[in-house]
Every structure is written in C-alpha cells, then in structure tokens.
Amino acid sequence: MEYGFTTAAYVVASVLFILSLGGLSGQESAKRAIWYGIVGMALAVLATLFGPGAGNWFLSLVMIVIGGTGGWIVAKRVQMTEMPQLVAAMHSLVGLAAVFVGFNAQIELGRVMRAAASEVPVIFTGFAALLASRTPAEIAMLKIEVFLGIFIGAVTFTGSVVAFAKLSGRVDGKPKKLPGGHMLNAGALGLSILLGILYFTGVGPAILWLIVITLMAFFIGYHLIMGIGGADMPVVVSMLNSYSGWAAAAIGFTLGNDLLIVTGALVGSSGAILSYIMCKAMNRNFVSVILGGFGGETGPAAAIEGEQIAIDADGVASALNEADSVVIVPGYGMAVAQAQGAVSELTRKLRAAGKTVRFAIHPVAGRLPGHMNVLLAEAKVPYDIVLEMDEINEDFPSTDVVIIIGSNDIVNPAAQDDPNSPIAGMPVLEVWRAKQVFVSKRGQGTGYSGIENPLFFKDNTRMFYGDAKDSINKLLPMID
C-alpha cells in the first residue's frame, strides 16, 4: 500500500514539474507554472517522508524547518538584480549535496560489504538495507552512479561558487586561466577517470580515491568558470543549471528514488537545451561553452573614433514627443536602478499620446535568461509589445527613437564589425540603424564585461547620463 501511494504521488509530482517547465516558456502562464512546481515539490516531500523506508521524522522535520526558514528569509531579502547570483548559489548547494550523498553511499556500502565478509549476521535498516539487497551487478552500477554523482556535483559546486563570485562582483569578471590552460583541465579529468576505474574495480582504498576525485573535480569546476568572461555569464548560469540537474539525477540513481531521477533529468535536459539556445543567440560553440573555452579576445580591438555626446532630459523628451515609433531596450542597468516601474509609466504615457512603443529583448539580456521579461511583467508592461530580437531587428531602420536602458554588449556593433572583439559574431540588436538612439547609463564606463561599445560614439547616438530610474522620472512630466 505504501509503495503504491508513493509511486502515485511521484507520478503526479512529475507531471506537475513538467507542467511547470512548460508554463515557464510564456509570460502569461509563468505564475501558474510556479504554483505547479510548488505543489509538486510539496507532494514529493510528503510522499518521501511517509513512504516506505522513511524514518528520522523529527530530524527531517527540523531540517525542513531550517531549510524552509532560510529560503524564506533569502527570498524576501534578495533583490531582482541579485537573482542571477542567487541561482548560482542554489546550484552550488545541489552539487555539494550530490558529493555528500555519494560519500555517504560509499560509507554505507563499505559497511555492508564488511558485514557480508564476516560470519556475524547483521540486520540493516534504511539505505544500508537497500544496499544489502542489491546484486553484484547492481553494486557495480551503484559505484558508477557514486563516481558520476561526486564528480558532476563537485564540478557544479566550485563552478557555481565562482559564478556567484563573478556575478556579485566579488571576483573580476574577466576570463582568467592558469598557465597550461585546458591541459590542466584535461589532466585533472584524466586522473579522475583513472581513479574512477581503480574505485570501480576495488583496487586500493575507495574513500581515498573518491576524495582525490572530488579535489580534481573541484579544480575543474573552478578553472572552467574562471576562464569564462563576464559577457558570457548568462550562458554559464544556464550551463550550471544543467550540471546541477544531472548531479541530482545521479543522486536519484544512488538512492533509488525515481522522482529524483526524473526531476534531475528534467532540470539537466532543460538546462542543456537552454544553454544550446543561448549559444546560438551568442554565436558560440556549445562544446566550447561546456569546456570553458571562450570569453577572451582574439587580437587587438578595433580603434573607436568620435566622442560620446551627452544630452539632457529636455532633449530626450523633445525627441520622444516628435517620434511616431519608439523602441525601448532594457538591460541589467534597468534592473540595478529598479527602473522598470518608471519605464512602464513612460510606456503608458507614450502610448496614450498615440505613439507605437515596443520593447526589444535580447536572449541574453541581463545576467539571467528571462531576466528582463520578468522585470517588465512585474511592472505590468503588456506582453504583446515585448518582442524578441529576431522579431524586431528588421524594424530598427524605420524606428524614430530607441532608448537603451543599461544595456551594453547586446547592442554593441563591434559584434558585427570587429573580428577581434570578444563578442565577434554574436547576434545583437541593431539599434544603431534607428534614426535616433539615446543611451541611459550612469557614466562612461565599459560595464560588467569590460568591452568598449562603438555605439556610444556614433553620430545618431546621445548619452543620457544618470541613474536610470531618476532619468526616466525626469522625462515623465515632459511627455505630451
């Protein structure tokens, strides 16, 4: 009876997780999709707690209360601008959990094997009882699962920690590699595989091999992500999301938990697909992303001619009042300034004045996939005027005014004009083809990625300096 209830609950939870992923593909269905995920996770936790082989309910309840309270506090305190690094931090915890589960499985396996070799009968409970019931072939598969779980989990842990540090500004966003570059990664991987073979065949101390494998994987995760530049961090976040999913799936195989396998596979595959989509959007090679092999310059950057010309709020408002069509390009600067509310009000006033207003969203705008879409939805911007890059790029030549709010790389013409640029070949929003371009940014700095933008020096571009929220609020009273 217990097995039937648990299986049924896991099936329902899996369906809810699938519906949640599907719903997140659209802004209109995203809120409902989140609730699918919440209900599915609650059902999964209850089914696991009261399913066969469960125990230590008091300890489990204490852990749930501690984890739930911590998650609630973090969610209430973290700003939307900090979501990318929060996601990276969550990925690191999944990876670390996979490492701990792998080591625990090996410790329990060693205890069961020692008992089997002795003449004293031992009665096992919980996970150890599950291991004691497995055949030699199943034990061999378990060792493979333990190796993969620990290795992928360790790579995910340190990689996510470095991503968190880069996204939060604690570590320089420029790509850095140790002398030897990819050969160091290859050497660490080769040693890990060799020790994995020794572990699988039972030669030498198993725990020692797993410890060394963990250290090698820690290094690989660290070195891979340190070698990726800030311009490519959105892809890194989705890639680590995929890694954390496969680590969770490995945990599921180790524990014999079908739901964890399904959930991990969903996260792993969806993260991999998202990484692939983003790589296409940035004209990157998917394999290179996985290997941390991009993010650096290929030669000296092209010289930029001209100067950045500033404009005040009166000049921008005058251009907006005379324009018939306006395109707004939001970026991470809008998120930092929390300017989405002011932008939404500006949009409302411009549309009320009879102007065509649309938003242009690059696939990697911000530092997290979908970052801008969430902010605009939060500010009640109508979904139907929020367009993706491929839908709006051809319309820029007929656009009167483009307002860029805190964007840099996604509107950088060097991606098309400079083969030595770190973003060479990356599809970008071709805003420079519009009649007038206004760039709202705090100052003349290059931004997070450190890449200079020739757009800021073009004849049809004017720099609207200042905090994005304050700048937009200055425009509102001037819109007729």
Catalytic residues, by residue number, are 409
With H, G, I as helix, E, B as strand and everything else as coil, classify residue 319. Answer: helix
Q: Residue 413: how many CB atoms within 10 A of its CB?
A: 17
The Cα–Cα gap between 370 and 165 comes to: 21
With H, G, I as helix, E, B as strand and everything else as coil, classify residue 169. Answer: coil
Task: Read off φ and ψ for residue 401, nearest 5 degrees.
Answer: -135, 135
With H, G, I as helix, E, B as strand and everything else as coil, classify residue 84. Answer: helix
The label of the residue with tokens 């089914």 reads: 47
| End-to-end CA, the chain | 70
**Residues, the chain, total?**
480
328 touches 350 (CB < 8 A): no
The Cα–Cα gap between 297 and 436 comes to: 30
With H, G, I as helix, E, B as strand and everything else as coil, classify residue 314. Answer: helix
37 touches 30 (CB < 8 A): no
164 touches 88 (CB < 8 A): yes
Residue 354 in tokens: 């009879």
242 touches 264 (CB < 8 A): no
